[in-house]
Amino acid sequence: MGREGGWWHDGGVSFPTATELRNSADAALAACGAAPLADGPHPARTPITGAVLGGVAATVDGSTAVTRATAAFAAWRTVPAPVRGELVRRLGAQLRTHKADLARLVTLEVGKIESEALGEVQEMIDICDFAVGLSRQLQGFTIASERPGHRLMEQWHPLGPTLVITAFNFPVAVWSWNAALALVCGNPVIWKPSELAPLSALATHALFEQAAAGMDLPADLNQVVLGDGAVGAQLVADERVSLVSATGSTPMGRKVGAAVAARFGRSILELGGNNAAIIAPSADPELVVRGVTFAAAGTAGQRCTTLRRLIVHRSRADEVLARLSTAFASLPVGSPLAKETLVGPLITRKSYDTMQAALSTAVSQGGSVLVGGDRHLADIAPDAAYVRPAIVAMPGQTAIVHDETFAPILYALTYDDFDEAVALHNEVPQGLASSIFTTDLREAERFMSPAGSDCGIANVNIGPSGAEIGGAFGGEKTTGGGRESGSDAWKGYMRRTTNTVNYSNALPLAQGVEYG
């Protein structure tokens, strides 16, 4: 074991000391204008070593946050949308300045490698750019009226306080997808971040406050509420919250959706994914290896769009699985602070135990582990969970393959004809992201047709992960049906009003009705 550049090394894998980790977190927090770690009630942990970095002070309670957001909405909804867009533009400028600082907190809190953490903050910058343009394009339609001397049109108005519940795996980007749109649409935001990522949320909020400084805007346009699931449930049940956007597991989404529907609120649900890639006979092998490896192993398999099922044509199965096994075996696993690392830690030891249970179940259902699944670096970081991504050849789509295990397990299945592949693809309950690798134009078009993939995202010759902000993000079935980010997802954050203006001297009724 040696020491280079302030980090502990073992076999080329970097590990910091506890003091260095805390100092790094405090430095990044300070750079963003947030308070340093202290002895607060909310612990901040790092999956890099499994240690507690320190505590975070209590934030505003949920009920108070909703009261403040409701008051802010009364003023914010009357501010012209381009002015609201200026706030988001300034937020984007703060994110550009502090991109590396915020990315460092993401790495420390959730274990993303540097490149992925920087990419997550870049997503925030991109959605700010998108929302600034959108602030001048919140357009309704003028509709042809059947009545002479009448104009029929629709308008879009601010909806109300918006609750954003985010998961650990994208601790800041998902907030920005929602917040940037909600703010330009005229809605104050209440943010309930994952308990596993309080520092990233507080640093982002500090940057937001700096962006808002000097703009003479209503207070409390963005508030962070820390706490456990009970705090989230209280916020979800509050009738003053007009919209709940929740990202997380399908069981969590069932509870949120039911609670919001019971009070006739509105929800955007981004829940589980069990994403697949079909490997056709004509697939480019280089694209397959690169695309599948990143999609399955990136973020240690902890993306909602992670590739979890590989559906390979029988004629290509031996070749594809051999090449992928070689690639998986060569992935550098270790501290995300090391430049050479491509696979960082699972978020908790519990995640590792869940992965091992899934692998055992897969074997009991006839599966064969081709590569991976083994724990790494337990002697150096016993409280952390480093594991090599696994490929498991399955005899069919058994019960375990229908489940989403939030860990780097890729189940490999075979097929003989295209219809069989699509049927295998669609028979799982989740419907987030999908892909096909083929150079056959007919197969590509059929995959994207109404009779093809039943997911919200369908890609050709790229994996299912790595969505751009320009398109609407979300999925069907038990993924929840929500849409965030680009395209016309902004309409989910507004209410539609249909207006009829009579500029004539008569009063004709629609459908030729006579009354009088």
* Residue type at 265 in one-letter notation: G
Quick one: 361 and 454 in the same domain? Answer: yes
Confidence category of residue 39, pLDDT binned at 50, 70, 90: confident
Instruction: Give pLDDT, residue 380.
Output: 87
Which CATH number covers residue 380?
3.40.309.10
Q: Tell whether the model's pLDDT for residue 147 goes beyond 80.
A: yes
Q: Once rounded to an integer, what is the mean pLDDT over residues 180-197?
A: 98
Q: Total structural domains in the chain?
A: 3
3-class SS letters over 83-105: HHHHHHHHHHHHHHHCHHHHHHH
Q: Distance (Å, rounded) from C-alpha 262 to C-alpha 233? A: 13
Q: Distance (Å, rounded) from C-alpha 233 to C-alpha 255? A: 9
Residue 266 lies in a domain: yes
Quick one: 438 and 295 in the same domain? Answer: yes
User: Lowest mean pLDDT: which of 7-21, 56-70, 444-458?
Assistant: 7-21
Strand 494-502 with 150-158, pairing: antiparallel
Q: Tell whether the model's pLDDT for residue 283 goes beyond 60.
A: yes
Instruction: Give pLDDT, residue 437.
Output: 98
pLDDT tens digits for range 95-114: 999 999 999 999 999 999 99
Quick one: 259 and 314 in the same domain? Answer: no
Q: Distance (Å, rounded) from C-alpha 333 to C-alpha 456? A: 31
Show the domain range for 10: 2-55
Q: Distance (Å, rounded) from C-alpha 53 to C-alpha 369? A: 36
Q: Tell whether the model's pLDDT for residue 2 goes beyond 70.
A: no
Instruction: Give pLDDT, residue 14.
Output: 56
DSSP assignments along 339-362, one per residue: TT-SB---SSHHHHHHHHHHHHHH
Quick one: 29 and 163 in the same domain? Answer: no
Instruction: Give pLDDT, residue 516.
Output: 78
Angle between helices 18-32 and 198-212 (to 10 degrees): 20
Q: Which of 123, 270, 443, 484 is catalytic?
A: 270
Quick one: 36 and 161 in the same domain? Answer: no
Is 185 labeled as catalytic in the residue annotation? Answer: no
pLDDT tens digits for range 234-266: 999 999 999 999 999 999 999 999 999 999 999
Residue 37 lies in a domain: yes
366 burial level (CB within 10 Å; 0-12, 13-18, 19+): exposed
Q: Distance (Å, rounded) from C-alpha 486 to C-alpha 470? A: 4
Quick one: 265 and 295 in the same domain? Answer: no
Cβ contact 493:187 at 8 Å:
yes
Residue 295 lies in a domain: yes
Mean pLDDT for all residues in the chain: 95
Which CATH number covers residue 225?
3.40.605.10
Quick one: 238 and 381 in the same domain? Answer: no
The pair phi, psi for residue 430, each rounded to 5°, is -85, 160
Cβ-defined contacts of 357-362 (< 8 Å, 24+): 358/400, 358/403, 358/405, 358/407, 358/409, 359/390, 359/392, 359/409, 361/399, 361/400, 362/392, 362/394, 362/398, 362/400, 362/401, 362/409, 362/411
Residue 287 lies in a domain: yes
Instruction: Give pLDDT, residue 1.
Output: 30
| CA 152 from centroid of its chain's CA atoms | 38
Residue 511 lies in a domain: no
Quick one: 9 and 29 in the same domain? Answer: yes
Q: Distance (Å, rounded) from C-alpha 6 to C-alpha 27? A: 15
Quick one: 34 and 93 in the same domain? Answer: no
Nearest partner of 182 among 204, 163, 205, judged by Cα: 163
Instruction: Give pLDDT, residue 12.
Output: 53
SS3 label, residue 275: strand
Strand 150-158 with 142-143, pairing: antiparallel
pTM of the model: 0.95
Residue 191 lies in a domain: yes
Distant-in-sequence, close-in-space partners of 178: CB < 8 Å, separation ≥ 6:
162, 164, 189, 245, 268, 484, 493
Quick one: 348 and 440 in the same domain? Answer: yes
Question: What tokens were used for 452?
Answer: 């093809």
Question: What tokens were used for 315?
Answer: 């004629």
Q: Which residues are 498's β-sheet partners?
A: 154
Is 304 labeled as catalytic in the residue annotation? Answer: yes
Residue 475 lies in a domain: no
- Which residue bears the tokens 């229908």? 402
Q: Tell whether the model's pLDDT for residue 442 goes beyond 60.
A: yes
Instruction: Give pLDDT, residue 463.
Output: 96
Quick one: 259 and 332 in the same domain? Answer: no
Q: Which of 32, 128, 185, 304 is catalytic?
A: 304
Strand 386-387 with 375-376, pairing: antiparallel
Q: Once rounded to an integer, what is the mean pLDDT over residues 16-22?
A: 91
Q: Distance (Å, rounded) from C-alpha 295 to C-alpha 306? A: 5
Quick one: 284 and 381 in the same domain? Answer: yes
pLDDT tens digits for range 303-356: 999 999 999 999 999 999 999 999 999 999 999 999 999 999 999 999 999 999
Instruction: Give pLDDT, residue 9.
Output: 36
Residue 504 lies in a domain: no
Q: Distance (Å, rounded) from C-alpha 345 to C-alpha 225? A: 27
Confidence category of residue 5, pLDDT binned at 50, 70, 90: very low
Instruction: Give pLDDT, residue 401.
Output: 98
Instruction: Give pLDDT, residue 13.
Output: 52
Q: Distance (Å, rounded) from C-alpha 184 to C-alpha 224? A: 19
Confidence category of residue 221, pLDDT binned at 50, 70, 90: very high
Provide the percentage of residues in the chain whose pLDDT is more than 70. 97
Instruction: Give pLDDT, residue 10.
Output: 41
DSSP 512: G
